[in-house]
C-alpha cells in the first residue's frame, strides 16, 4: 500500500507540475503584450471603440451567494455556532487531517470542514441532512436526481482545481436555487439517504464536460430510439408427419457464389461506414483539456444493497444522470462521506475510477475518520480480526482511545422543506434550457406557458445547431388532450399526438397543412367512436378509412374522388362536394354467413354504373366467388324497359347453385347493392364533413389552447376554491347553530347520575321533578328579582320626592330640572318593571307547562314517563 | 278466380291453387315481372299464406322444402298431415280449423311458433319433437284436464301460452296452477305474468312442484347414468376390448356349457374352478388395459397425422390464394388496358399476353397441387405403415395373452379330467361317499361318456376364447383398413375438387377473355 500511495503521489505531483507549467505558458503571451510600444491617441481611441463593441462576458461570481443577499441573523442558532460536540468533532478532524498530511504529505489537503453561510466551520458529514420528501416523485433515485438537477442552477467552482472554502446548508441552497457541485451533491445525497438509499457524497476529479455541465457532446436521451427487442420465435420441433418440402432444384454452388459476393459487398459497406464514423468522431472530439484530471468535482455514489440497488453507480448531480462506476468521466476520488462517517480513498486512481473497489469496510482501501459507525466491515467471518486491524490502524494514526466511542453529531441543518408550489415549478423561474449534441432541450413548469407547453426538443442537423431538423413539443393539461407535437422541418410533416379524451376521439393527426383535401392521416381511439374508425388517410384525390369491430364487419373503405364539377349557380354557401369515382369497401368474414354469401370486397364504379363484388373464400378453397353487375338502362326492340338481362351480371361461382342463376335473384342482389352504394356514398360524404369539422375544431383549439385544471388542484382551481370556501362558511354556521341547539336543559341533572348507565324509572322521575322544581325556582327567583328592583326603584323615588319637598325652596332651577328629569326616568323604569313583572306572572305558568311537556317528550325520558301521561 | 268464402264445398289443395298463392304473395313490380318471366320454384318460397280457402286436407306441400312460415288458418282442416317435409318451418298457423288431435308434427323440429287456436283439441300431446317451441296458442279448444299443463314443462323455451276459452280455465286455480308449474312462462293469455303472483303461486303449489321436480330429477339421473354407461362401452368398443374388464368372457364360457356346470359339483372342482376363474380374469384385465393403452397411442398417431395434413393443405392453399390474388390484380389492369386500347393490333397483342398469363396461372396452380399431392402421398404412406405396425403389434400381443388363456383352459381341463376319472374309478369301486345329483351321476356311466363330457366342455371353452380373439382381430384389422381407405379416398376427393376448382376458375377467365375478343370483333 505504501508503494501504491507513493506512486499515486508521484503521479499527482507530476500532474501538478505539468499544470503549473501550462499556466506559465498561458501567462507568457500576456507578458509579451505588455512589452508592446506605447500607443498613440488614435490607437487608443480605436481600441476604445473596439473594446466597446466587444460584449463583455461578466465572469461569474466566485462566491455563489454574496453576503448581502440574505440575512444571516435570521438563520437558526445551529447555523451560527457550533455545539460542544461539533467543536470536539472539528478537533478530531483537525487531528486527523494533521496526521493524514503527515503520513501522506503529497496528497492534497482533505475537504473536511468548510465554512457555512455564517462563516462557521462545519464538518461535511453534518451538512448532510437525510430527509424523506412527501412527494412520491422523489422516492426513486432517478427522479430525485432529475429534480435536483432541474431545481438548482449550476454555478462553477471559484477555483476549478480546488474544493470550495464554503459549503452552504442544503436549506440555503434550496432557497437560492443555485449552487456548485458540492451543494448539488449534498442536497441530492440528503434526499437519497432520506429515501433509504446507501448514498455518499464524493469529492474527486472529473472530466471537463462533467465539471462544467457541458452536455454538447452527449446525445440527448430523448432522441435516442428504443431498440426494439426482436423476440426470436421458438422453433417448433417438426412433427412426425410434417410434409417434406419440395426438392430444391437450384444449384448449391451458385448459391454459395452469390453468398460470397454479398458478403464481400457487406464487408465493403461496413468498412466504409466505419471510416465515416471514425471521421465524424474525429470532428466531434473535443480539444484536449489542459487541466484534465485536476478539475475538482463532487458527485454522489450509490452503493448496492439498500433499496434493491443491484449494482453500485455514480450520479452526476448536475445532469441527474447515472454512470457506471467505471465511466471515463470520473477521474479519481479523494474522499467520500455520508451523514455518519468520512472515508479517504487509499487506492490508486491512475486509471480513473475503473479499478476502485467500493468496500468501505476494507481499511486498506478506505481510511475512515470515525470508528464505531455501523458501516459493514469487510466480511463477517473475519470480523474479529478486522476489528484488531482497525485498532492497529487507529494506533498507526495515533488516534486517541476515546475517539473509538465518538460518533457523528447530528446534522446542524434544519429539515429540508420544499413547498408544493416550488416543487411544481421545479426549475428556477420555471424554465430551463439544456444544450445537447445536435439538440436543444427546453423545459417549463406546468401552467407557465399559456398553451400548456412543457418541454421542447429541437434537433439540429449539424453540430453548430444552425439547421433545424425537427422539433418535438410536449404539452400537459391541455383541454384538447394534445400531448406531443412533432414537427419535421425537412419534410414539413406535422404530427400531433393526443391522449384519450379528445372530443373527436383523435389519437394521431399527421399533416402538412391544415387545408382540407390535402395529404393527412388521422388516427382515432376506435373504442371511443361509435363507427369503430381506426384510421383515415387522405391524399388530394383519395380517402382511405380503416375500421375495426363493426357489426357490419366493414374493415376498409377507399374512395377515389374525381375533379370537382364547376357549378353554374353561384351559391357559394352550399358546399360543392367532389364527385366520387370509385368506392372500394372490404369486409371481414362474418362467421354466421356461408362464405358464398359473405361479401369480402365490393367496388362501386359510379360513372360506369358498374358494381364488382367479391365474396369470401371457403376454408378449403383457393378461389372466391365473384359477381359483376353492369347497369345498362336500355330499351328493348319493343320499347319496353329492360329490367334485367343475363349479360348485366357476370358471375363466377365456386360452387354453382341453381337459385343464384335466376334473374330475380340477381335483380334483387343488384337492387340491394344500389341501395348500399347510396349509403356508402353518404357515409363517405359524412366522413369528408367530419374531416372539415375536425380541422375547424383543431384550429379553434390551437387558438384558444385552454388548459384544464384538475379538480384536485386546490391551488389553481378557482371555482373549486370558491365552492370550498362557501362550503366551509356554511359548515361553520351550521356548527354554530348546532351548538346552540344542543343546549341541554337536562344536562346538569343527568350529570349527577352515574354516566353511561341507563336510567331507571325512578331516576327518570327524579330528574324530571328536579328539573321542573329547578325551573320553578328560577321563575320564582326571577319574579322576586323583578319585584325587588321595582321596590328599590319605588323607594328611591320616594326618597327623592321627600328630598325635593324638603329642599324645594333652596333649589336652583338646574337642580329642579335635574329632579324632574330624574323623576320621569324613574317613573318610566318603574313602569317597565311593573310591566315585566306582570308579564312574567302571566308567562311563568305557561313556560312551566311547556317545559313539562318538553320533558315528557324528551327521548331520554319518554319511555319512563309515558305511563303517567 | 272467384273466392267462395261462404261455400261449404271443400276445396282441394292442388298445384293451381298453390301457384296462384305463390304468385300473389311473391315479389311485386319490376321484380314481379322478372319472377313471372322465370317462374318461381316452390322450393324457393319461404313463406306461404293459404287462409280462407276452405281447405279440408293439407296436401301437395312437399315441394316447399325451404318454407319457413305457413298460414293455414280459417279452413276446415280436420287432421294435421302432409307437413312432414317442411322441416325448416318456424311459424305454423292452424287456427280456426276443425282439428281434433295434435299429430303429424314430429318432424318439425325448428318450429317456434304454433297456433292451434279455435279447434277441437282436447288433449295436449305429440309435441315432443318441438324442442324450440316458444309460442303456443291453444285457445278456444276443449282442453279440460289440468294435467295437460304438466306436459308443457318439457319445453324449456316456452314463453307465451294461451289457453283462454278452454274448459280448463273455469277452474279457479287455473292461473295459479300454470304460474306454479310453468315458471319460465312470461305471457299467459296475452298478459304478462306478474312476478309477485308467480311467487305466490309457487308457494301455494310448493309441495306438488317439489314432488314433481324430484321425480323429474330421478328420471334425469337415470338417463344420465345410462348415457354414461353407453359412453364407456363405446370407448371400450373403439379400443376393441369391450367386456374384458371383468369375468364376462369367463361367464360366457360356462353359460352354454351344461356338462361343465354339472361337473362343477364334483368334489374339488369348485376350488379348482375358482382359482381358474381368478387367473383368467386377471389375464382378461391385462388385455383390457393393454387395449386401452394401445387405443390412446393410435388416437395420438391419428391426431398428429391429421394435424400435419391440415397444416400442409392450409399452407398450400395460402400459396394458391396469393397467386390468385396477384393474378386478379394484374387481371383487372390488363382488362382495363384492353378495353381502353383502340389500336387493333395492340389489342391482339394484349389479348395474347393475357391468354399467356392465364395459362401460366393454370400451370402454377396445377404444379402447386401436384406438389401437394406428392407430399401428401408420401406422408399418408408413412402413416399407413405406422398404423399397420401398431395394429399388428396390438394383435400379436393380444394373441399371446389369449394363448395364456388357452393354456389355463388346457391346464384346467387336465385337472378336471383327472378328477373326473378319479371320481369314475371311485364310483366304479363304489367308494364314493358323497351324494351326487342324478344328472351328474348319469355322466359317470363309463369312461367314454365322462371323457366326452369333459372334452365337450373344454371344446366349448376353447371355442369361446377363439371367437373372442377372432372378433377382436377382425375388427381391429377392418378398422385399420377402413381408416386407411378413408384417408386415401379423402385425399383423392380433395385432389379432384381442387383440380376441378382450378379448371373452373381458369375456364371462367378464359371465357371472359373470349367474350372480350368477341365484343372487340363485333365493335
Which range marks the domain in which residue B84 is found?
11-223
- A668/B504 Cβ within 8 A: no
Å between A763 CA and nearest CA of chain B? 51
Locate A860 and state its grid cell.
331520554
- A241/B494 Cβ within 8 A: no
- Give the residue among A696, A688, A695, A694 at the shortest CA–CA distance from A557: A688
Whole-Å CA distances, A58 to A67, A161, A295, B173, B516: 19, 21, 22, 108, 88
Whole-Å CA distances, B1 to A523, B5, B6, B36, B428: 65, 12, 15, 18, 105
CA distance A38 to A56: 24
Q: Is residue B228's pLDDT more than 90?
A: yes
In this complex, the residue of B304, B365, B371 whose CB is nearest that of residue A240 is B304
A54, β-bridge pairs:
none
Model pLDDT for residues B50-66, shown as the tens digit of each residue: 888 888 888 888 888 88
Which residues have a Cβ under 8 Å from the Cβ of A143 and sit 6 or more positions away? A137
Q: What is the mean pLDDT of residues B491-512?
A: 90
Model pLDDT for residues B114-172, shown as the tens digit of each residue: 999 999 998 888 888 889 999 999 999 998 888 888 888 889 899 999 998 898 888 88
Locate A36 and state its grid cell.
508592446
Model pLDDT for residues B170-179, shown as the tens digit of each residue: 888 888 888 8
- A620/B34 Cβ within 8 A: no
CA nearest to A244 within chain B: B375
Q: Please tell me the predicted confidence (pLDDT) of residue A586.
A: 92
Å between A590 CA and nearest CA of chain B? 19
Chain A residues inside the 8 Å CB shell of B497: 620
DSSP class of residue A478 equals B
Delimit the CATH 3.10.620 region(s) of chain A.
78-213+289-368
Considering the domain architecture, whether residues B209 and B283 belong to the same structural domain is answered as no
Q: How many CB pairs under 8 A join A and B?
A: 76
CA distance A343 to A337: 6
CA nearest to B34 within chain A: A664
Chain B residues inside the 8 Å CB shell of A655: none
On whether residue B232 sits in a domain, the answer given is: no
Chain A residues inside the 8 Å CB shell of B308: 239-243
Count other Cβ atoms within 10 Å, centred on residue B210. Answer: 10
Three-class SS of A592-614: CCCCCCCEEEEEEECCCCEEEEE
Chain A residues inside the 8 Å CB shell of B42: none
Locate B194 and state its grid cell.
306478474
CA nearest to A669 within chain B: B31
CA distance B135 to B138: 10
Considering the domain architecture, whether residues B311 and B177 belong to the same structural domain is answered as no
In this complex, the residue of A243, A652, A667 whose CB is nearest that of residue B312 is A243
Count other Cβ atoms within 10 Å, centred on residue A314. Answer: 25
- B321/A643 Cβ within 8 A: no
If you search the block for the grid coordinates 467471518, which residue do you land on? Answer: A381
CA distance B33 to B21: 16
Question: Would you say how long chain A is, in residues?
Answer: 869
Q: Domain A78-213+289-368: which topology?
A: C8orf32 fold (3.10.620)
Model pLDDT for residues A68-111, shown as the tens digit of each residue: 456 677 788 888 888 888 888 888 888 888 888 888 888 888 88
Q: Please tell me the predicted confidence (pLDDT) of residue A558.
A: 92
β strands within A157-295, DSSP E: 178-179, 198-206
Q: Please tell me the predicted confidence (pLDDT) of residue B474.
A: 92
- A240/B320 Cβ within 8 A: no
On whether residue B234 sits in a domain, the answer given is: no
Would you call B308 an interface residue with chain A, using a CB distance cutoff of 8 Å? yes
- B308/A242 Cβ within 8 A: yes
CA distance A785 to A791: 10
Structural domain count, chain B? 2
Å between B313 CA and nearest CA of chain A? 8
Considering the domain architecture, whether residues B76 and B218 belong to the same structural domain is answered as yes
Q: Please tell me the predicted confidence (pLDDT) of residue A225.
A: 64
Q: Considering chain B, what percentage of its residues have pLDDT values greater than 70?
A: 97
Å between B394 CA and nearest CA of chain A? 21
Q: Is residue B183's pLDDT more than 60?
A: yes
CA distance A81 to A118: 8
CA nearest to A670 within chain B: B31
Model pLDDT for residues A821-843, shown as the tens digit of each residue: 988 998 999 999 999 999 988 98
Considering the domain architecture, whether residues B345 and B265 belong to the same structural domain is answered as yes
Considering the domain architecture, whether residues B268 and B217 belong to the same structural domain is answered as no
Mutate to test the interface with B, among A622, A631, A668, A669 (most CBs of B within 10 A): A622
- B34/A663 Cβ within 8 A: yes
Residue B44: helix, strand or coil by DSSP?
Answer: helix
Q: Please tell me the predicted confidence (pLDDT) of residue A755.
A: 64
Residue B183: helix, strand or coil by DSSP?
Answer: coil
Considering the domain architecture, whether residues B153 and B295 belong to the same structural domain is answered as no
- A240/B308 Cβ within 8 A: yes
CA nearest to A667 within chain B: B31
CA nearest to A660 within chain B: B44
Q: Please tell me the predicted confidence (pLDDT) of residue A378.
A: 42
Would you call B321 an interface residue with chain A, using a CB distance cutoff of 8 Å? yes
Model pLDDT for residues A462-503, shown as the tens digit of each residue: 877 788 888 888 988 888 888 888 888 888 888 999 988 888
Alpha helices for A195-313 (secondary structure H): 208-211, 252-284
CA distance A142 to A418: 18
Which residues have a Cβ under 8 Å from the Cβ of A432 and sit 6 or more positions away? A150, A153, A426, A442, A443, A444
Q: Please tell me the predicted confidence (pLDDT) of residue A784.
A: 92
CA nearest to A245 within chain B: B375
- A617/B34 Cβ within 8 A: no
Å between A540 CA and nearest CA of chain B? 23
Considering the domain architecture, whether residues B336 and B451 belong to the same structural domain is answered as yes
Q: Is residue B90's pLDDT more than 60?
A: yes
Chain B residues inside the 8 Å CB shell of A242: 308, 311-312
Q: What is the mean pLDDT of residues B187-209?
A: 88
- Which strand (E) or helix (H) includes residue A411? none
In this complex, the residue of B40, B41, B379 whose CB is nearest that of residue A243 is B379
- Residues with pLDDT less than 50, chain A: 1-4, 23-36, 57-68, 375-404, 572-573, 869
Which of these ranges, A448-462, B298-312, B353-367, has the smallest mean pLDDT?
A448-462
Residue A780: helix, strand or coil by DSSP?
Answer: helix
Model pLDDT for residues A756-798, shown as the tens digit of each residue: 666 777 877 888 888 888 888 988 999 999 999 999 989 998 9
On whether residue B408 sits in a domain, the answer given is: yes
Q: What is the mean pLDDT of chain B?
A: 86
CA distance A660 to A649: 11
Q: Is residue B45's pLDDT more than 60?
A: yes
Chain A residues inside the 8 Å CB shell of B498: 622
Considering the domain architecture, whether residues B430 and B508 belong to the same structural domain is answered as yes
On whether residue B3 sits in a domain, the answer given is: no
Model pLDDT for residues A661-704, shown as the tens digit of each residue: 777 788 888 888 889 989 998 998 898 888 888 889 888 888 87
Residue A457: helix, strand or coil by DSSP?
Answer: strand
Predicted TM-score (pTM) of the model is 0.65
- B305/A650 Cβ within 8 A: no
Chain B residues inside the 8 Å CB shell of A663: 34, 37-38
In this complex, the residue of B35, B365, B498 whose CB is nearest that of residue A664 is B35
Give the pLDDT band of residue B4 (cuts 50, 70, 90).
very low
Q: Is residue B223's pLDDT more than 80?
A: yes
Would you call B35 an interface residue with chain A, using a CB distance cutoff of 8 Å? yes
CA distance A70 to A7: 46
Would you call B304 an interface residue with chain A, using a CB distance cutoff of 8 Å? yes
Chain B residues inside the 8 Å CB shell of A622: 317, 320-321, 324, 365, 498, 501-502
- Give the residue among B399, B442, B335 at the shortest CA–CA distance from A605: B335
Chain A residues inside the 8 Å CB shell of B385: none
Q: Decide the pairing of beta strands B160-162 and B135-137.
A: parallel
In this complex, the residue of B44, B374, B501 whose CB is nearest that of residue A622 is B501
Considering the domain architecture, whether residues B213 and B257 belong to the same structural domain is answered as no
Output the DSSP codes for A520-574. EEEEE-GGGSSS-EEEEEE-SSEEEEEE-S-TT-EEEEEEEE-PPPPPSS--TTS
Would you call B519 an interface residue with chain A, using a CB distance cutoff of 8 Å? no
Whole-Å CA distances, A819 to A164, A789, A813: 92, 20, 10
CA distance A452 to A480: 11
Residue A330: helix, strand or coil by DSSP?
Answer: strand
CA nearest to A618 within chain B: B317
Chain A positions with Cβ closer than 8 Å to B:
239-244, 246, 617, 620-623, 643-644, 650, 652, 654, 659, 662-664, 667-668, 671
Q: Please tell me the predicted confidence (pLDDT) of residue A348.
A: 79
Give the pLDDT band of residue B393 (cuts 50, 70, 90).
very high
Which residues have a Cβ under 8 Å from the Cβ of B463 and sit 6 or more positions away? none
Q: Is residue B295's pLDDT more than 60?
A: yes
Mutate to test the interface with A, among B23, B34, B38, B333 (most CBs of A within 10 A): B34
Chain A residues inside the 8 Å CB shell of B506: none
Å between B154 CA and nearest CA of chain A? 29
CA nearest to B306 within chain A: A241
Amino acid at each position: 500500500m505504501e508503494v501504491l500511495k507513493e506512486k499515486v503521489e508521484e503521479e499527482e505531483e507530476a500532474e501538478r507540475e505539468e499544470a503549473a507549467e501550462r499556466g506559465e505558458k498561458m501567462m507568457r503571451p500576456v507578458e509579451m503584450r505588455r512589452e508592446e510600444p506605447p500607443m498613440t491617441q488614435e490607437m487608443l481611441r480605436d481600441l476604445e471603440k473596439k473594446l466597446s463593441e466587444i460584449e463583455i462576458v461578466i465572469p461569474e461570481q466566485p462566491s455563489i451567494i454574496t453576503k448581502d443577499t440574505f440575512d444571516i441573523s435570521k438563520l437558526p442558532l445551529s447555523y451560527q455556532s457550533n455545539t460542544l460536540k461539533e467543536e470536539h468533532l472539528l478537533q478530531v478532524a483537525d487531528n486527523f487531517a494533521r496526521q493524514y498530511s503527515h503520513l501522506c504529505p503529497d496528497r492534497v489537503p482533505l475537504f473536511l470542514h468548510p465554512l457555512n453561510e455564517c462563516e462557521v466551520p462545519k464538518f461535511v458529514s453534518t451538512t448532510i441532512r437525510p430527509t424523506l420528501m412527501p412527494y412520491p416523485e422523489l422516492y426513486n433515485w432517478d427522479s430525485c436526481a432529475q429534480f435536483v438537477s432541474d431545481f438548482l442552477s449550476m454555478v462553477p467552482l471559484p477555483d476549478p482545481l480546488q474544493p470550495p472554502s464554503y459549503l452552504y446548508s442544503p436549506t440555503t441552497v434550496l432557497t437560492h436555487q443555485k449552487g456548485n457541485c458540492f451543494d448539488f451533491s449534498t442536497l441530492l445525497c440528503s434526499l437519497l439517504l432520506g429515501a433509504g438509499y446507501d448514498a455518499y457524497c464524493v469529492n474527486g476529479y472529473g472530466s471537463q464536460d462533467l465539471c462544467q455541465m457541458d452536455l454538447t457532446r452527449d446525445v440527448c436521451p430523448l432522441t435516442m430510439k428504443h431498440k426494439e427487442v426482436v423476440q426470436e420465435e421458438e422453433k417448433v420441433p417438426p412433427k412426425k408427419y410434417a410434409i417434406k418440402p419440395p426438392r430444391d432444384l437450384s444449384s448449391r454452388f451458385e448459391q454459395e457464389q452469390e453468398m460470397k459476393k454479398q458478403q464481400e459487398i457487406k464487408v465493403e459497406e461496413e468498412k466504409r461506414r466505419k471510416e465515416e464514423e471514425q471521421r465524424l468522431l474525429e470532428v466531434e472530439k473535443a480539444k484536449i483539456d489542459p487541466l484534465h484530471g485536476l478539475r475538482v468535482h463532487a458527485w454522489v455514489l450509490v452503493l448496492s444493497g439498500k433499496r434493491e440497488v443491484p449494482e453500485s453507480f455514480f450520479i452526476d448531480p448536475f445532469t441527474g444522470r447515472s454512470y457506471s462506476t467505471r465511466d471515463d468521466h470520473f477521474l479519481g476520488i479523494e474522499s467520500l462521506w455520508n451523514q455518519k462517517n468520512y472515508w479517504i480513498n487509499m487506492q490508486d486512481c491512475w486509471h480513473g475510477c475503473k479499478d476502485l473497489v467500493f468496500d468501505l469496510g476494507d481499511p486498506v482501501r478506505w481510511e475512515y475518520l470515525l470508528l464505531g459507525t455501523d458501516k459493514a466491515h469487510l466480511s463477517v467471518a473475519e470480523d474479529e480480526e478486522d476489528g484488531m486491524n482497525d485498532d492497529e490502524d487507529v494506533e498507526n494514526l495515533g488516534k486517541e482511545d476515546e475517539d473509538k466511542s465518538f460518533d457523528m453529531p447530528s446534522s446542524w441543518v434544519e429539515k429540508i422543506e420544499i413547498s408544493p408550489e416550488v416543487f411544481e415549478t421545479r426549475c428556477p423561474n420555471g424554465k430551463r434550457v439544456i444544450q445537447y449534441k445536435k439538440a436543444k432541450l427546453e423545459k417549463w413548469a406546468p401552467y407557465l406557458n399559456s398553451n400548456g407547453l412543457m418541454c421542447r426538443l429541437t434537433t439540429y442537423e449539424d453540430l453548430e445547431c444552425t439547421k433545424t431538423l425537427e422539433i418535438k413539443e410536449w404539452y400537459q393539461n391541455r383541454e384538447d388532450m394534445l400531448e406531443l407535437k412533432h414537427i419535421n422541418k425537412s419534410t414539413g410533416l406535422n404530427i400531433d399526438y393526443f391522449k384519450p379524451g379528445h372530443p373527436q376521439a383523435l389519437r394521431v393527426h399527421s399533416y402538412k397543412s391544415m387545408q382540407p383535401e390535402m395529404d393527412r392521416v388521422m388516427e382515432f381511439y376506435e373504442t371511443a367512436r361509435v363507427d369503430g374508425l381506426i384510421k383515415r388517410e387522405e391524399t388530394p384525390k383519395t380517402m382511405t378509412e380503416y375500421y375495426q369491430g363493426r357489426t357490419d364487419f366493414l374493415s376498409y373503405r377507399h374512395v377515389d374522388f374525381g375533379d370537382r364539377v364547376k357549378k353554374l349557380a353561384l351559391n357559394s354557401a352550399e358546399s360543392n362536394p367532389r364527385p366520387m369515382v370509385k368506392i372500394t369497401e372490404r369486409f371481414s368474414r362474418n362467421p354466421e354467413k356461408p362464405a358464398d354469401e359473405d361479401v369480402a370486397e365490393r367496388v362501386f364504379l359510379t360513372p360506369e354504373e358498374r358494381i364488382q363484388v367479391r365474396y369470401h373464400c371457403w376454408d378449403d378453397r383457393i378461389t372466391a366467388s365473384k359477381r359483376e353487375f353492369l347497369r345498362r338502362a336500355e330499351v328493348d326492340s319493343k320499347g319496353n324497359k329492360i329490367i334485367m338481362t343475363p349479360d348485366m351480371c357476370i358471375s363466377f361461382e365456386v360452387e354453382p347453385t341453381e337459385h343464384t342463376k335466376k334473374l330475380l335473384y340477381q335483380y334483387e342482389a343488384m337492387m340491394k347493392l344500389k341501395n348500399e352504394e347510396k349509403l356508402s356514398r353518404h357515409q363517405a360524404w359524412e366522413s369528408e364533413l367530419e374531416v372539415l369539422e375536425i380541422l375547424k375544431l383543431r384550429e379553434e383549439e390551437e387558438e384558444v389552447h385552454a388548459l384544464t385544471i384538475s379538480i384536485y388542484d386546490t391551488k389553481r382551481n378557482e371555482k373549486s376554491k370558491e365552492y370550498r370556501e362557501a362550503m366551509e362558511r356554511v359548515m361553520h354556521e351550521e356548527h354554530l347553530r348546532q351548538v346552540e341547539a344542543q343546549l341541554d336543559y337536562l344536562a346538569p341533572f343527568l350529570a349527577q347520575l352515574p354516566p353511561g348507565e341507563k336510567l331507571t324509572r325512578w331516576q327518570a322521575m327524579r330528574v324530571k321533578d328536579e328539573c321542573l322544581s329547578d325551573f320553578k325556582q328560577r321563575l320564582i327567583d326571577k319574579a322576586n328579582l323583578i319585584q325587588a328592583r321595582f321596590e328599590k326603584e319605588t323607594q328611591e323615588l320616594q326618597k327623592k320626592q321627600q328630598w325635593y319637598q324638603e329642599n324645594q325652596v333652596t333649589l336652583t332651577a338646574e337642580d329642579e330640572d335635574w329632579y324632574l328629569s330624574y323623576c320621569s326616568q324613574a317613573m318610566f323604569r318603574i313602569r317597565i318593571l311593573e310591566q315585566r313583572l306582570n308579564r312574567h306572572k302571566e308567562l311563568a305558568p305557561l313556560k312551566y307547562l311547556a317545559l313539562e311537556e318538553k320533558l315528557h317528550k324528551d327521548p331520554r325520558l319518554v319511555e319512563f314517563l309515558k305511563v303517567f301521561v | 278466380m272467384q273466392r267462395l268464402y261462404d261455400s261449404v264445398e271443400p276445396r282441394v289443395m292442388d298445384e293451381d291453387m298453390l301457384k296462384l298463392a305463390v304468385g300473389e304473395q311473391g315479389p311485386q313490380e319490376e321484380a314481379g315481372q322478372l319472377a313471372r318471366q322465370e317462374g318461381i320454384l316452390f322450393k324457393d318460397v319461404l313463406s306461404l299464406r293459404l287462409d280462407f280457402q276452405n281447405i279440408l286436407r293439407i296436401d301437395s306441400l312437399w315441394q316447399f322444402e325451404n318454407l319457413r312460415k305457413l298460414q293455414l288458418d280459417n279452413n276446415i282442416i280436420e287432421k294435421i298431415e302432409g307437413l312432414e317435409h317442411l322441416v325448416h318451418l318456424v311459424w305454423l298457423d292452424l287456427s280456426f280449423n276443425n282439428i281434433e288431435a295434435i299429430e303429424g308434427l314430429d318432424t318439425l323440429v325448428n318450429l317456434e311458433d304454433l297456433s292451434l287456436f279455435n279447434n277441437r283439441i282436447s288433449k295436449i300431446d305429440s309435441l315432443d319433437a318441438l324442442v324450440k317451441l316458444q309460442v303456443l296458442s291453444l285457445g278456444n279448444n276443449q282442453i279440460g284436464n289440468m294435467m295437460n299443463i304438466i306436459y308443457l314443462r318439457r319445453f324449456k323455451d316456452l314463453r307465451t301460452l294461451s289457453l283462454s276459452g278452454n274448459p280448463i280455465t273455469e277452474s279457479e286455480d287455473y292461473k295459479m296452477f300454470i304460474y306454479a308449474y310453468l315458471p319460465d312462462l312470461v305471457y299467459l293469455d296475452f298478459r304478462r305474468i306478474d312476478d309477485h303472483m308467480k311467487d305466490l303461486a309457487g308457494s301455494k303449489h310448493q309441495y306438488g312442484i317439489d314432488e314433481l321436480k324430484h321425480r323429474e330429477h330421478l328420471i334425469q339421473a337415470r338417463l344420465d347414468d345410462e348415457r354414461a354407461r353407453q359412453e364407456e362401452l363405446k370407448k371400450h368398443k373403439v379400443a376393441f376390448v369391450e367386456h374384458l374388464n371383468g369375468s364376462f368372457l369367463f361367464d360366457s364360457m360356462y353359460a352354454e356349457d351344461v356338462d361343465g356346470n354339472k361337473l362343477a359339483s364334483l368334489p374339488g372342482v369348485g376350488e379348482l374352478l375358482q382359482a381358474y376363474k381368478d387367473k383368467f380374469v386377471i389375464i382378461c384385465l391385462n388385455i383390457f388395459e393393454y387395449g386401452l393403452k394401445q387405443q390412446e397411442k393410435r388416437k395420438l398417431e391419428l391426431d398428429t397425422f391429421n394435424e400435419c395434413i391440415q397444416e400442409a393443405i392450409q399452407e398450400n392453399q395460402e400459396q394458391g390464394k396469393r397467386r390468385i390474388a396477384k393474378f386478379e390484380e394484374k387481371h383487372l389492369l390488363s382488362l382495363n388496358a384492353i378495353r381502353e386500347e383502340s389500336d387493333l393490333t395492340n389489342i391482339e397483342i394484349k389479348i395474347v399476353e393475357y391468354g399467356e398469363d392465364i395459362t401460366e396461372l393454370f400451370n402454377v396452380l396445377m404444379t402447386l397441387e401436384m406438389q401437394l399431392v406428392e407430399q401428401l402421398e408420401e406422408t399418408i404412406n408413412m402413416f399407413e405403415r405406422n398404423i399397420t405396425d401398431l395394429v399388428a403389434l396390438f394383435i400379436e400381443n393380444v394373441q399371446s395373452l389369449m394363448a395364456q388363456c388357452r393354456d389355463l383352459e388346457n391346464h384346467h381341463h387336465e385337472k378336471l379330467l383327472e378328477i373326473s376319472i378319479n371320481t369314475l374309478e371311485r364310483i366304479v369301486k363304489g367308494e364314493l361317499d358323497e351324494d351326487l345329483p342324478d344328472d351328474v351321476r348319469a355322466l359317470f356311466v363309463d369312461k367314454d361318456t365322462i371323457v366326452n363330457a369333459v372334452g365337450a366342455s373344454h371344446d366349448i371353452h376353447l371355442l369361446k376364447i377363439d371367437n373372442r380373439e377372432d372378433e377382436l382381430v377382425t375388427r381391429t384389422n377392418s378398422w385399420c383398413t377402413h381408416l386407411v381407405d378413408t384417408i386415401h379416398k379423402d385425399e383423392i376427393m380433395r385432389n379432384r375438387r381442387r383440380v376441378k376448382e382450378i379448371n373452373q376458375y381458369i375456364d371462367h377467365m378464359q371465357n371472359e377473355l373470349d367474350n372480350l375478343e368477341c365484343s372487340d370483333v363485333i365493335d
